[in-house]
């Protein structure tokens, strides 16, 4: 008679005992595999063509390669790195495994082509944590550089673009730039999405910007929720001392669209309303020429977003403060490229963009005396009359 195997007090016919026995077998199997069988760790980034090697290859190769990948030529890239190093906007540590040049290239490549951290990690052969750290570091450095890079160069003389155009001169001789808002894709937690959802139904931050006639940003206010009206952002910029808005000198002004209030320092077009045929023709002519002057901000936005695809989105899952820094950093880079490469042919200046404001939106009230408003309206009327009188010259 065969002996039954010992059950050690376990009754396999009992469901509870059977479950415990199965669990014990799994635990023993895991223990054997993890402690008895040696495992070989496989490296992730094993490409012999490292990120630094790629950057060196770009710097020594044809200029068009650097333009295509980094949106700037070799001298501009070298000058940017020199400013960041000598100005101590980025401080290199003795133990840093990534050079300043490679770190700048990581961020530029990601901002220009809207690449994920995993894709950047594969290209530069670094971990996603390293990639994020260098993107954040460059953006923070450029934000600190912004007060120097984003400002007016000259507001006294009439810009040649105005002076040499018979449609604009002499009527817009005191226009020093244009203002408008634009939307940049945003990524926010579900509980905050309502405020960031714009009138098109997408998530965005509303960015107020001012540019001069050289298509350079002279002021940027980023981080506002996408549902906020452009006029509300401008009101905050004007009334908040911490916003450091560049108020036009006396007699000078920015060209703005119908979403903004026509008041000293801000020249808006005529709004549609009753009037005789001659008066309507005068206002229509003024509005067409005014629109051409103001279009400089739309062209600037267009080139800016074509250069830095990350702005079109969908935005990566960065903290909202980091997203604001990305906007400002891209403005600084845009200005730097315009200064170093004024005749850059890699991107067209003529870019068709939708206007930012609508005539139905009303700017919140800002205290301006009735006399000042009256004088400013009379100035616009006089400009329209004189423009219409000399329309055939």
- Every domain of the chain and the residues it spans: 51-149, 160-314+348-389
Q: Is the pLDDT of residue 353 over 60?
A: no
Cβ contact 356:182 at 8 Å: yes
| Alpha-carbon torsion angle 79, 82, 84, 87, nearest 10 | -120
Query: Does the pLDDT at position 8 exceed 70?
Result: no
- Using pLDDT thresholds of 50, 70 and 90, give the confidence band for residue 392: confident
DSSP string, 159-186: PHHHHT-TTTTTTTTTEEEEEEEEEEE-
Task: Dump pLDDT digits (tens) for 32-60.
Answer: 666 555 555 656 666 667 899 999 999 99
**Average pLDDT estimate for 165-186:** 95
Inter-residue contact 302 to 295 (CB < 8 Å): no
Q: pLDDT band at residue 359, thresholds of 50, 70 and 90?
A: very low
Res. 372: pLDDT tops 80: yes
pLDDT at 364: 47
Sign of the Cα pseudo-torsion (339, 152, 175, 257, in order): positive
pTM, full prediction: 0.83
pLDDT for residue 363: 45
pLDDT digit string (tens) for 194-253? 999 999 999 999 999 999 999 999 999 999 999 999 889 999 999 898 999 999 999 999
Burial of 390: CB neighbours in 10 Å, binned 0-12, 13-18, 19+? exposed
| DSSP-derived secondary structure letter, 263 | B
* pLDDT recorded at residue 153: 86
The pLDDT score that the predictor gives to residue 155 is: 87
Q: Average pLDDT of 342-369? A: 54
| Sign of the alpha-carbon torsion through 318, 320, 322, 327 | positive
Q: How is residue 23 written in tokens?
A: 């669990």
């Amino acid at each position: 008679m065969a002996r039954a195997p010992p059950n050690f007090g376990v009754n396999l016919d009992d469901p509870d005992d059977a479950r415990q026995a199965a669990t014990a077998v799994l635990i023993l199997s895991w223990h054997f595999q993890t402690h008895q069988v040696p495992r070989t760790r496989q490296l992730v980034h094993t490409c012999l063509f490292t990120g630094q090697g790629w950057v060196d290859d770009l710097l020594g190769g044809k200029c068009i390669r650097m333009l295509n990948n980094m949106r700037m030529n070799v001298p501009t890239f070298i000058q940017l790195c020199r400013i960041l190093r000598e100005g101590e906007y980025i401080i290199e540590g003795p133990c840093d495994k990534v050079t300043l040049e490679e770190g700048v290239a990581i961020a530029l490549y990601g901002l220009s082509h809207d690449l994920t951290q995993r894709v950047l990690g594969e290209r530069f052969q670094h971990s996603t944590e390293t990639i994020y750290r260098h993107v954040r570091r460059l953006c923070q450095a450029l934000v600190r550089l912004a007060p120097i890079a984003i400002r007016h160069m000259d507001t006294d003389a009439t810009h040649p673009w105005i002076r040499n155009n018979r449609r604009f001169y002499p009527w817009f001789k005191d226009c020093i730039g244009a203002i408008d808002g634009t939307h940049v894709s945003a990524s926010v937690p579900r509980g905050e999405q309502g405020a960031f959802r714009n009138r098109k139904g997408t998530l965005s931050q509303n960015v107020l910007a001012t540019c001069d006639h050289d298509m350079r940003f002279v002021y940027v206010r980023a981080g506002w929720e996408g549902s906020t009206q452009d006029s509300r952002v401008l009101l905050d910029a004007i009334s908040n001392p911490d916003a450091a808005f560049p108020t036009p000198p006396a007699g000078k002004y920015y060209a703005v669209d119908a979403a903004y209030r026509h008041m000293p320092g801000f020249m808006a077009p005529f709004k549609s309303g009753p009037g005789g045929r001659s008066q309507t023709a005068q206002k229509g002519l003024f509005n067409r020429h005014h629109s051409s002057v103001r279009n400089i901000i739309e062209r600037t936005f267009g080139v800016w977003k074509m250069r830095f695809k990350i702005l079109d989105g969908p935005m990566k899952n960065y903290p909202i403060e980091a997203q604001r820094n990305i906007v400002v950093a891209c403005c600084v880079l845009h200005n730097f490229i315009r200064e170093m490469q004024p005749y850059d042919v890699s991107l067209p200046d003529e870019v068709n963009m939708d206007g930012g404001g609508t005539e139905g939106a009303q700017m919140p009230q800002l205290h301006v005396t009735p006399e000042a408003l009256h004088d400013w309206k009379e100035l616009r009327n006089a400009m329209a009359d004189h423009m219409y009188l000399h329309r055939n010259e």
